Amino acid sequence: MTDDEGRYTFRTIKPGAYPWGNHFNAWRPNHIHSSLLGPSISTRLVIQMYFPGDPLLDLDPIYLGTPEGARERLISKFSMDVTEPDFSLGYVFDIALRGRNKTPMED
Ligand SMILES: [Fe+2]
């Protein structure tokens, strides 16, 4: 659930790259899938959040299938403001449901 200002947080283990059978020696970049649920299952939106600096991004057909100019909105930003000392790195990933800067969604 988001708070009154639409903010959210969660803790998880940073995922690793994994191989997939899309083509020879194909690997997915580190990413986290998110589902945003509205009032019904038909309003479910699916997003993949990537991590900055991942060398696999330039090889990933899903990332590259996102229109240029929108791809960067799928990459989280490392933030010392949300990094917790001696515990965890923090990333910020804003999701926009509408408007010019809408986050690209999977159809
Ligand atoms: Fe995945």
The predicted-structure confidence for 68-101, as pLDDT tens digits, reads as follows 999 999 999 999 999 999 999 999 999 998 898 8
- 96 alpha carbon to ligand 1 midpoint, in Å? 21
- 82 alpha carbon to ligand 1 midpoint, in Å? 24
Rg of the chain over CA atoms, in angstroms? Answer: 15
The pTM of this model reads: 0.88
- 26 alpha carbon to ligand 1 midpoint, in Å? 13
Q: What is the structure's pLDDT at 107? A: 64
Residue pair 89/78 in contact by the 8 Å Cβ criterion: yes
CA distance 93 to 105: 14
- 83 alpha carbon to ligand 1 midpoint, in Å? 24
- 39 alpha carbon to ligand 1 midpoint, in Å? 25
Residues 6+ apart with CB under 8 A from 87: none
Average of per-residue pLDDT across 18-47: 90
Higher pLDDT, 40 or 11: 11
Q: How far is CA 32 from CA 4, 39, 99, 100, in A?
A: 24, 23, 23, 23
- 51 alpha carbon to ligand 1 midpoint, in Å? 13
Q: What is the structure's pLDDT at 84? A: 97
pLDDT tens digits, one per residue of 50-61: 999 999 999 999
Decide if pLDDT at 43 tops 90. Answer: no
Closest by CA to 49, choosing from 75, 27, 16, 77, is: 75
Q: What is the structure's pLDDT at 104? A: 85
